[in-house]
Amino acid sequence: MPSDTQLRVSSRRSGGRTKQAGGVVTKCSSRVAKSGSQAHSFYIGDQKFSIFTADELSPVVDGDRVHFGFEVRRLRTGHRSEYNVILQDTLIVEVPAELEAEVAGEVYVLSNPSMQGLLKVGYTTGTALKRASELSGVTGVPTGFKVEWALPVIGDARAVEQRAHAHLVSYKAGKEFFKVSLDDAKAAIVQSFAELYPERAMLMDQAFSRRAEAELSRRADLAQQAERRAREKEEEEARKQFEQSLEGRWRKEGKCRMVIRPFNSEPNRNFPSFWGKLTRVRYDDYLEFKLSPGQEKGEVIWVLAISGRINEKSVWKTESFPTKQDAFDGMARAVKAHGVENHSIAVEVSNAMIETPLPLPQNVYKPGYVLEVSSIDHFVILPVPTPVRRSRFSQQ
């Protein structure tokens, strides 16, 4: 049987604006509010309610039967929209979702300011809140009824009510009214349910126990997720700090260059000006062969770039190869095909594609430095990882 604490509905008031609501929860959702707290929302019928807590875990799930007090508040915006805020200490799960469909009615305890010292103990096949509203609309009742407590019943709610009346007969003040404390009225109803339906009372206890176990498991999952996010955040901060350092920028912007064949003489890379052409100035031909690794569809490829000048015409051409050896063979063919005596051959590799780049030489403070090396055979060339872009709406 659910404990008194689980079924208690607070009677707290806030400036006289507190209202009561209850029913079956639908459309549960959670988000982080502007204040930084967790905003858990759900619907009862077509009305939306929100509860703001420091807890990432929603206190309810779809299908729960709940009871709570709430206030109507206004957003601090131009259109002044209203929204319903649940008072945190009033939200009570009366029946877990797995048993909600079996509830046949409620036995309730109502109070009325015009009937001081008296409590009405009754039953309904609907909800206690709806019944209180119906009774409050009866002619001759000066003030409205308030639900002090209600017990959803898996079984015959009328039978539980009548047995509770028998337990409270010494407090009877007329019809369904009793001059009794709320605690004694609640105890009589709980006892009556347990006497009539001991197995179902045990079923309710088991359901709440399973909910508690599921909540503990979910909290453990959330704690692991929070720990993972914190770790990822620390790693991301460390990565950013490293990338902004000289060493980090060298690994991203620096290059290693191996010269296989230098120019016979440094070429004049300009072209004759208009006046130069009139005076028949001619610049010598030259070609520059540069081989670099690139990537395509996540795989390393090798790109041969040929640039220079032949017979007063600019030369620019690129060709891709699947392996380094294929690229060297292609470069040898290109050198032979063009037959330009003054040419250079170099291999240039970005540090970003080297698994373990060489350290930046001492007294060099330019991260885009090109380091001359005698061999690239010991380099492990890898594709540059594609950065993972997460949407702020994606699951964490």
Same domain, 292 and 344: yes
Same domain, 131 and 149: yes
Residue 15's pLDDT is what?
40
Residue 80's pLDDT is what?
62
**Any domain includes 396:** no
CB 158, CB 123: distance < 8 Å:
yes
Q: Which two tokens stand for residue 89?
A: 């200490």
Same domain, 174 and 322: no
Q: Where are the alpha helices (DSSP H) in the chain?
A: 4-7, 97-100, 128-136, 157-167, 182-196, 198-244, 246-253, 274-278, 324-338
State how far the Cα of 132 lies from the Cα of 380, in Å rounded to an integer. 77
**Any domain includes 166:** yes
CB 56, CB 49: distance < 8 Å:
no
**Any domain includes 338:** yes
**Any domain includes 67:** yes
The answer to whether the Cα torsion of 225, 228, 232, 234 is positive or negative is: positive
| Residue 198 DSSP symbol | H
Please state whether the predicted TM-score (pTM) of the whole model is above 0.85: no
Q: What is the chain's length? A: 396
Same domain, 195 and 304: no
State how far the Cα of 323 lies from the Cα of 293, in Å rounded to an integer. 9
Q: What is the per-residue DSSP string for 332-394? A: HHHHHHH--SSEEEEEEEEGGGBSSPPPPPTT---TT-EEE-S--TT--B-PPPPPP---TTS
Beta-bridge partner residues of 240: none
CB 84, CB 48: distance < 8 Å:
yes
Per-residue pLDDT tens over the stretch 217-266: 888 888 888 899 899 999 999 999 999 999 999 999 999 999 999 999 99
Residue 5's pLDDT is what?
32
Domain boundary among 230, 248, 266: 248
Same domain, 41 and 126: yes
Per-residue pLDDT tens over the stretch 109-124: 999 998 899 999 999 9
Same domain, 283 and 201: no
Same domain, 161 and 79: yes
Percentage of the chain lying above the pLDDT 90 cut: 52
| In the predicted structure, residue 172 carries a pLDDT above the cut 50 | yes
State how far the Cα of 70 lies from the Cα of 18, in Å rounded to an integer. 5
The CATH number that applies at residue 170 is 2.40.50.140
The CATH number that applies at residue 327 is 3.40.1530
Residue 387's pLDDT is what?
61
Distances from the Cα of 380 to the Cαs of 130, 201, 350, 354, in angstroms?
Answer: 74, 69, 12, 6
| In the predicted structure, residue 271 carries a pLDDT above the cut 50 | yes
Q: pLDDT band at residue 279, thresholds of 50, 70 and 90? A: low
Q: pLDDT band at residue 102, thresholds of 50, 70 and 90? A: confident
| In the predicted structure, residue 55 carries a pLDDT above the cut 90 | no
The total number of structural domains in the chain stands at: 3
Same domain, 229 and 317: no
Residue 93's pLDDT is what?
86
Give the structural domain span for 185: 4-205
| Residue 4 DSSP symbol | H
**Any domain includes 392:** no
Per-residue pLDDT tens over the stretch 289-318: 999 999 998 899 999 999 999 888 889 999
CA angle 69, 71, 76 (to 5 degrees): 155
